[in-house]
Amino acid sequence: MNANVWQQCVSKLQAELSDQQLNTWIRPLHAREENGTIQLFAPNRFVLDWVKQHYFEHIVTLAGSVSGNPDLHISLVIGNGDLSQAAPPKIDNHSSAVNLPTFQNNLNPNFTFSTFVEGKSNQLAKAAAIQVAENCGTAYNPLFIYGGVGLGKTHLMHAIGNQILTQKPDAKVVYLHSERFVADMIKALQHNAIDAFKSHYRSVDALLIDDIQFFAGKERSQEEFFHTFNALLESQQQVILTCDRYPKEVDGLEERLKSRFGWGLTIAIEPPELETRVAILQKKAEQAGIDLPSEVAFFVAQRLRSNVRELEGALRRVMANAQFTGQPITLDFAKEALRDLLALQDKLVTIDNIQKTVADYFKIRISDLLSARRSRSITRPRQIAMALSKDLTNHSLPEIGDAFGGRDHTTVLHACRKVAELRESDQQIDMDYTNLHRTLST
């Protein structure tokens, strides 16, 4: 059979489908052609269902025509054809959907000790991590790092892995999130590949599992992990775990696991204090080649207190604004850039809310605003409230008129024009309007 049937099909589809369709649905498919059949792998069920409904029949016809074999068998499954070829040979086609993490390919090279900003809150954890990296399997085993979200647990874990690899490039270091461990185990069970799963995880030099609190309540996964954990510890292979709290405090985790987690070293990372947050921002700016004035770093660090990830997001927003406007990063510039993030939720502005705020401001009753009274002390606030309703809500003018005692939309239109005129000519009205607008929208 022509080995490139699928490629020829893609070329033909290219002429028929838009780029968007091709890139979204066809290119994500991986094909494996063997023994007169083509197996197409879709990354997930959604893509699979979509392709099945919209393109599969046509693909079958196309493949039959380009291969010259109208009976060519084509199947569509969930999985990844490329990775599965690297899987152990005893795993058959179907269990190939179990993609065990390959060795040494899943550490983030940017997470090293040199990019980790040390402060009082994390210096013990960093020192312990360096010890573990330099004495893999023998210093503290397991190393258990715990602390709240976004404090650098994952960074430290990757830094250990990267350091181990620097010292011993052929070491097998596997990092994964606990959820992946659970998902892989479930797939392995479904596909009778649990032995491959076990031997995979037991053959590593260092196993790094993030966020083990997500093992809570998953008994079968805990059982499997318990055995893997014991096997690794017995043969002095390093285990590093992170968790969002002290192991004894994780509900739904077996006692024997909690107790074993305490065999090595359990160490906390606390939220960074202000100086460390400033240093983190400056380090990240430096990595991005940006000059970050210290007053800006202090401003951001004061506003975002508990979480390094948020700090990074905020800095990225400031840098994006600077890049696209070409302006230098100053304190005012940073305040403006972070308004979207720091401002509390924009209040839901309703006509009711506007009427109440305007009535309070001018010290009149809401019923006056809705009444037919025409004295200036009432009509001005009413007109201002109508203009604010038009500016701050998406209601139609007839709806706004209705909400003000059943007035016609032309009255609303007149009010809006009048207010615009008065704001030009009367400073007091302009100030009143601006104050109310600010009160309502921030």
Between 115 and 230, name the residue whose CB sits nearer to other proteins.
115
Element (H, E) at 291: none
Nearest to 171 by CA among 137, 143, 199: 137
Question: Shortest Cβ distance from residue 131 to other proteins (Å)?
Answer: 26
Nearer to other proteins, 189 or 413 (CB): 413
Nearest-5° Cα angle at 214, 210 to 215: 100
Contacts of 331-335 spanning 24+ positions with Cβ under 8 A: 331/293, 331/295, 331/296, 331/299, 333/296, 334/296, 334/299, 334/300, 335/299
| Minimum CB distance to other proteins, residue 6 (Å) | 16
Q: Could you tell me if 272 and 308 are in contact, meaning their C-beta atoms sit under 8 angstroms apart? A: yes
Alpha helices in 55-168 (DSSP H): 56-67, 81-85, 123-134, 153-167
* Least distance between other proteins and beta carbon 314 (Å): 8
What is the nearest approach in angstroms of other proteins to the Cβ of residue 175? 8
**Choice between 177 and 258, CB closer to other proteins:** 177
Strands 238-243 and 143-146: parallel
CA 377 to chain centre: 53
Shortest gap between Cβ of 69 and other proteins (angstroms)? 29
How far apart are CB 228 and other proteins at their closest, in Å? 21
Of the two residues 80 and 439, which places its CB atom closer to other proteins in the complex? Answer: 80
From the CB of residue 364, how many other CB atoms can be counted at a distance below 10 Å?
16
Cα-Cα-Cα-Cα dihedral sign, residues 12, 16, 21, 25: negative
Nearer Cβ to other proteins (220/339): 339
Q: Residues in the site for other proteins, rule: CB under 8 A?
A: 19-20, 22-24, 27-28, 42-47, 49, 78-80, 106, 108, 148-150, 177, 179-180, 210-211, 214, 244, 307, 309-310, 312-314, 316-317, 320-321, 324-325, 339-341, 343-346, 390, 394-399, 409, 413
Cα 105 to Cα 102: distance, rounded to the nearest angstrom? 6
Nearer to other proteins, 71 or 328 (CB): 328
Smaller CB distance to other proteins: residue 290 or 341? 341
d(CA 98, CA 366): 66
CB of 269 to other proteins, least distance (A): 14
